[in-house]
Amino acid sequence: MKTITDLIKNVSVPKMVKIREVFDDTHIPEADIASTVTLELSREALGGQIKPGMKIAITCGSRGIHHYAVMARAMVDFVKSKEAEPYIVAAMGSHGGATAEGQTQILADYGITEEAMGCPIKSSMETVQVGLSGVRGQPVYVDKNAAEADGILLFNRIKPHTSFRGRYESGLMKMMAIGLGKQKGAESLHHQSPAIMHELVEEYGRTILENCPILGGIAIIENAYDDTYLIQGLTAREIITEEPKLRDLSYKTIAHLLFDKCDVLVVDKIGKNISGDGMDPNISGRFVQPKYCSGGIEAEKVVILDLTDETHGNAQGVGLAEVTTRRLFDKMRLEMTYPTGVTNTFLHLMKIPMIMDNDREAIQLALCCCPEAEDADCMKMIRIPDTMHIEYIEISEGLLPIAKANPQIEVLSEPYDLPFDENGNLF
């Protein structure tokens, strides 16, 4: 790509400054995580439904949750304390390449294995139809292993969704409608109009509540630093009434970049363990359905440098950037990426941006293609590790005045040149 290299070789990369974004760090201490889960499950209305000998399915999905394995094991141990028989089911729609093996591997990446959990882990793409959705009469599917249980305990994080807004977004209702639906159920829901996605999640979820042995679940809210802010047990009835309140709370605790806009946003890594879209648009501002969602920073150009190991080559979300690297492109596995697109219909998430040979050229290309920049000699650039970790980030000198005026931002360094190695990649 010598032609492009020559065109951008004189584009200067601005000096950067390390900063810390300061948010409310209220959280449950690590030592109290398991006991809090146990306490929530111990409510008679929730855990009292579990009787000796019952087979109890516990759902685990594909998103990275802090203390994931610790909480899952606490749920398993509680079920065992009731003299029932727990097992974990992979409830993650089409993720993991839409294969049972891929979904088992995703759980293992989080430390959720049979050895660590002390119970079976059942991963299958087989589903059964459990009913028809209320208003539209669409078939609703559930993981076969979960459907065969005497009781189902849901387990998921509550947070703003990446492609729709509604009373129920990412949480227990969505875990039922899409996660437990596996590829077939997720496809059934996603292949309807995105404009009614929020309605469909509730319709499908309520159908499952009415036709499956849902006992309730454990809902998690994380703070801006991805520490556990809240653990709350909900009965099946409380999922309907209380999850919308938890959704509202999650909007207050979620992290966000403390800048309204920039010329270039550099994201070191994306992955399905970070967000369903690879990077959380509530941070990046790049929404898969901007007609139905908004928020995050306004960046004229976005550069994505790499994939997380945990995403196993699933590069969904790379299409939301303008520029990427050959390193990311070489790691991209179509057999892992494409099934998600076929399921959710958002094919533009898989589009390949302009590919540059290294990090420096990717950044230079983005910088030189910002016609709306206020000052070409003082470009405003932000670099983040990923959208789950934005406490410590880097900003260019052009954003220093904004940073210094914000009491929520600590400036931690003097300006410095980004450290590129001899191959043009960042250390």
Do 273 and 407 lie in one domain? The reply is: yes
pLDDT mean over 330-340? 92
Residue 97 has pLDDT above 90, yes or no: no
In this prediction, what percent of the chain has a pLDDT beyond 90?
80
Pairing of strands 139-143, 151-157: unpaired
Q: Does residue 68 fall inside a structural domain? A: yes
User: Which pLDDT band holds residue 194 (cuts at 50, 70, 90)?
Assistant: confident
User: Which pLDDT band holds residue 215 (cuts at 50, 70, 90)?
Assistant: very high
pLDDT mean over 280-302? 89
Do 15 and 94 lie in one domain? The reply is: no
pLDDT of res. 346: 86
pLDDT of res. 62: 83
Residue 158 has pLDDT above 90, yes or no: yes
pLDDT mean over 54-81? 96
Where is the domain boundary, 202, 220, 253?
253
* Partner residues linked to 384 by β-bridges: 267
Segments forming the whole domain that contains residue 344: 2-23+256-411
Do 166 and 267 lie in one domain? The reply is: no
Do 115 and 149 lie in one domain? The reply is: yes
Do 399 and 340 lie in one domain? The reply is: yes
Count the domains in the chain: 2
Indicate the angle between helix axes 182-190 and 197-211, nearest 10 degrees: 140
Where is the domain boundary, 195, 225, 253?
253
Do 104 and 243 lie in one domain? The reply is: yes
Where is the domain boundary, 200, 220, 253?
253
pLDDT of res. 112: 97
Residue 81 has pLDDT above 80, yes or no: yes
Do 181 and 278 lie in one domain? The reply is: no
Q: Does residue 417 fall inside a structural domain? A: no
Question: How would you classify residue 182: left for phi > 0, otherwise alpha for psi between -120 and 50, otherwise beta?
Answer: left
Pairing of strands 354-356, 323-325: parallel
Q: Does residue 341 fall inside a structural domain? A: yes
User: Which pLDDT band holds residue 299 (cuts at 50, 70, 90)?
Assistant: very high
What are the pLDDT digits (tens) for 216-243?
A: 999 999 999 989 999 999 999 999 999 9
pLDDT mean over 156-181? 91
Do 240 and 292 lie in one domain? The reply is: no
CATH of the domain at 137: 3.40.50.11440
Low-confidence winner among 50-59, 107-116, 127-136, 139-148 (lowest mean pLDDT): 127-136
Angle ∠(44,46,51) on CA atoms, nearest 5: 80
Do 110 and 176 lie in one domain? The reply is: yes
pLDDT mean over 56-65? 92
Do 293 and 248 lie in one domain? The reply is: no
Q: What is the mean pLDDT of the chain?
A: 94
Q: Does residue 137 fall inside a structural domain? A: yes
User: Which pLDDT band holds residue 167 (cuts at 50, 70, 90)?
Assistant: very high
Q: Does residue 420 fall inside a structural domain? A: no
Do 94 and 209 lie in one domain? The reply is: yes
Q: Is the pTM higher than 0.95?
A: no
Do 96 and 230 lie in one domain? The reply is: yes
- Output DSSP code: residue 224: T
Q: Does residue 423 fall inside a structural domain? A: no
pLDDT of res. 231: 98
What are the pLDDT digits (tens) for 24-56?
A: 999 999 999 999 999 999 999 999 999 999 999
